[in-house]
């Protein structure tokens, strides 16, 4: 793999031991991928503060510098962590102090995370604590090379923003944060960013639920490739594309898609396929839409619902406002809990706008930093949950061994108020 003089100097320890270990990791990683070179980046979204038992053990015995070396740089060496070289943010992690008494979540995790936030904050990590960094200030520009983790964020960055990132891991983002480099392969290269599958929509897709179902279908069709969507779709907004991407990255491993005329790298269908002409389209019509809906509801058999989960990926302000409007003047059924997950910065907006108060008056909670899937935590005794998120409907039953219903925000709120699932595909 070609290295610049600057990269060789970093590798050889001209800066410090931590940077040398980071460069060593990136070189090993790049060679394994057959990358020709490293690209310069100035935007990392990774995870350093998420509490885990391994991290707790290392920190207790050796401290945070060692934990970073072992977990975030795959190194046994002893060194002090320098400041982040490029803008770096923490993605979602565990629940914080304010979730105490609401979420059954271990106090030792909350304490470890608070200690981590303090350590990494001092080293220049922006604690955004959300799976949607693009909603709260980390907004890479078109063509910008990044090193991001979190599949729902990666697909948004690539497809909606036109930034360039592969789905990175804990160690590669750790190394990128100290070097401003990442192997230049996959989505970083223009020739790898064209469409591979053509999905023609022949049933109207014009709301949040529909965009999630279409995304789930697109992921199933495309696997890890790049679907291109055309047909009977409205112009999606941020929340629609957030849901679409998260679902496509859940049922498949999609990191990049195009919607001609809407996403930035596909002004036309031809451009989406690099002028080679689109392949034979796969149809998404009423039958396919119903099949996706039934798949997402196949784990739901019991109509009594204990738990409603909204905000996956973390909610926009507009989603919080809509949830508040739907819950205004209502009261959750006894024994039913409702959590809405949001970035902490947007929860602050919701607090100031009065939305949180309305949701709490109904008996629900707006929570930040994490989610039930990430932290493996739901209200005690939950057997059946309902959600408006295709991603949570897919993952949470397997993670927590519970039943799932997938529907609209209105159906979820109705379930929260009645304690019963009355949803159905319209
Ligand atoms: Fe975010 Fe959790 Fe969903 S981290 S994307 S709310 S599974």
Span 44-84, pLDDT tens digits: 999 999 999 999 999 999 999 999 999 999 999 999 999 99
Ligand 1 centroid to Cα of residue 408, in Å, is: 17
Rounded CA-CA distance 160/151 in Å is 14
- Which strands form 282-284's sheet, in the order they lie side by side? 227-233, 197-205, 282-284
Residue located nearest, by CA, to atom 5 of ligand 1: 313
Mutate-to-test residue for ligand 1 from 50, 316, 341, highest number of ligand atoms within 8 A of CB: 341
> How confident is the model at residue 52, as a pLDDT?
97
Q: How confident is the model at residue 426 (pLDDT cuts 50, 70, 90)?
A: confident
**pLDDT above 80 for 327:** yes
> 121: which 2 tokens?
């904050």
CA distance 372 to 204: 32
> Which residues fall within 8 angstroms of residue 275, CB to CB, at 6 or more apart?
none
The pair of three-digit structure tokens given for residue 220, joined into one six-digit string: 């199933």
User: Residue of the nearest CA to atom 2 in ligand 1?
Assistant: 371
Ramachandran angles phi, psi of 51, nearest 5°: -75, 135
Taking CA atoms only, the protein residue closest to ligand 1 atom 1 is 313
Pocket of ligand 1 (CB under 6 A): 92, 131, 152, 246, 312-314, 341, 371, 373-374, 391-392
| Distance between Cα 241 and ligand 1 center (Å) | 15
As a whole-number percent, the residues of the chain with pLDDT over 70 amount to 100
Mutate to test the pocket of ligand 1, among 316, 392, 399, 400 (most ligand atoms within 8 A of CB): 392
Question: What is the distance between the alpha carbons of residues 128 and 137, in angstroms, rounded to a whole number?
Answer: 9
Mean pLDDT of 17-45: 97
Predicted confidence at residue 277, as pLDDT, reads 86
Q: How far apart are CA 176 and CA 183, in angstroms?
A: 9
CA of 176 to the centre of ligand 1 (A): 23
Position in ligand 1 atom list of the atom nearest CA 131: 1
For the purposes of burial, counting CB atoms within 10 Å of the CB of 382, is it exposed (0-12), middle (13-18) or buried (19 or more)? buried
Centroid of ligand 1 to alpha carbon of 17 (angstroms): 35
Backbone angles phi, psi at 110, to 5 degrees: -60, -40
Question: What pLDDT does 194 receive?
Answer: 97
Return d(Cα 20, Cα 178) in angstroms, integer. Answer: 9
Which of the 8 DSSP states describes residue 348? Answer: H
Average pLDDT over residues 195-208: 97
* DSSP-assigned states of every residue in 233-272: E----HHHHHHHHHHHHHHS-----B-TTTSTT-SSHHHH
Residue 275, pLDDT above cutoff 90: no
pLDDT over 90, % of the chain:
98
Q: Pick from 135, 150, 373, 393 the residue to mutate for probing ligand 1's pocket: most ligand atoms within 8 Å of its CB.
A: 373
Q: How far is the CA of 313 from the centre of ligand 1 (A)?
A: 5
Counting ligand 1 atoms within 8 A of each CB, the residue from 130, 133, 135, 374 with the most, and so the one to mutate, is: 374
Taking Cα atoms as reference points, which of 319, 310, 302 lies closest to residue 404? 302
Q: Cα of 131 to ligand 1 centre, how many Å?
A: 6
Best of 99, 128, 131 to mutate for ligand 1, by most ligand atoms within 8 A of CB?
131
Could you read off the pLDDT of 124-161 as tens digits, one per residue? 999 999 999 999 999 999 999 999 999 999 999 999 99
Task: List Cβ neighbours of 317 (8 Å cut-off, separation of 6 or more).
Answer: 346, 349, 350, 353, 355
Q: Which parts of 181-223 fold into alpha helices (H)?
A: 208-222
Q: Give the mean pLDDT of 225-248.
A: 97
Residue 197, helix vs strand vs coil: strand
**Ligand 1 atom closest to Cα of residue 371:** 2
Q: Is 9 exposed, middle or buried (0-12, 13-18, 19+ CB in 10 A)?
A: middle
Q: What is the pLDDT of residues 276-310, one digit of tens each?
A: 789 999 999 999 999 999 999 999 999 999 999 99
- The mean pLDDT value for 200-206 works out to 97
- Give the model's confidence band at 116: pLDDT under 50 very low, under 70 low, under 90 confident, else very high: very high
Question: Which atom of ligand 1 is nearest the CA belonging to 314?
Answer: 6
- Three-state SS for 408? coil
Residue with the nearest Cα to atom 6 of ligand 1?
Answer: 312
* Gap between the Cα atoms of 339 and 367, Å rounded: 7
Q: How far is the CA of 286 from the centre of ligand 1 (A)?
A: 28
What is the rounded average pLDDT of the residues 390-399? 97
Question: Which residue is closest in CA terms to ligand 1's atom 7?
Answer: 373
Residue located nearest, by CA, to atom 4 of ligand 1: 131
């Amino acid at each position: 793999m070609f290295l610049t003089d600057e990269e060789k100097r970093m590798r050889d320890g001209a800066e410090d031991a931590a940077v040398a270990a980071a460069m060593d990791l990136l070189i090993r990683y790049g060679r394994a991928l057959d990358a020709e070179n490293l690209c310069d980046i100035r935007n990392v979204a990774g995870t350093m503060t998420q509490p885990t038992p391994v991290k707790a053990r290392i920190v207790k015995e050796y401290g945070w510098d060692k934990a970073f070396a072992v977990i975030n740089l795959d190194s046994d060496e002893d060194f002090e962590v320098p400041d982040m070289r490029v803008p770096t943010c923490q993605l979602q992690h565990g629940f914080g102090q304010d979730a105490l008494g609401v979420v059954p979540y271990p106090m030792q995790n909350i304490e470890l995370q608070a200690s981590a936030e303090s350590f990494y904050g001092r080293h220049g990590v922006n604690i955004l604590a959300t799976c949607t960094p693009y909603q709260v200030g980390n907004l890479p520009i078109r063509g910008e090379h990044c090193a991001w983790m979190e599949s729902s964020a990666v697909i948004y960055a690539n497809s909606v923003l036109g930034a360039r990132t592969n789905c990175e891991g804990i160690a590669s983002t750790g190394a990128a944060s100290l070097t401003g480099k990442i192997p230049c392969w996959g989505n970083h290269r223009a020739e790898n960013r064209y469409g591979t599958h053509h999905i023609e929509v022949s049933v109207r897709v014009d709301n949040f639920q529909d965009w999630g179902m279409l995304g789930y279908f697109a992921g199933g069709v495309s696997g890890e490739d790049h679907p291109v969507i055309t047909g009977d779709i409205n112009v999606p907004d941020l929340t629609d594309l957030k849901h679409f991407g998260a679902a496509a990255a859940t049922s498949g491993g999609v990191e990049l898609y195009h919607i001609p005329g809407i996403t930035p790298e596909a002004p036309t269908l031809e451009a989406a396929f690099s002028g080679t002409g689109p392949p034979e389209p796969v149809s998404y019509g009423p039958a396919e839409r119903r099949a996706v809906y039934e798949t997402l509801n196949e784990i739901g058999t019991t109509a009594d619902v204990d738990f409603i989960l909204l905000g996956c990926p973390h909610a926009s302000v507009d989603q919080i406002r809509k949830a508040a409007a739907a819950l205004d003047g209502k009261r959750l059924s006894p024994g039913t809990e409702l959590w809405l997950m949001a970035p902490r910065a947007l929860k602050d907006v919701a607090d100031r706008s009065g939305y949180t108060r309305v949701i709490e008056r109904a008996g629900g909670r707006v929570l930040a930093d994490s989610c039930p899937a990430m932290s493996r935590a739901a209200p005690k005794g939950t057997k059946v949950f309902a959600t408006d998120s295709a991603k949570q409907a897919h993952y949470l039953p397997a993670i927590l061994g519970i039943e799932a219903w997938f529907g609209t925000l209105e159906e979820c709120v109705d379930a929260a108020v009645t304690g019963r699932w009355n949803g159905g595909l319209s």
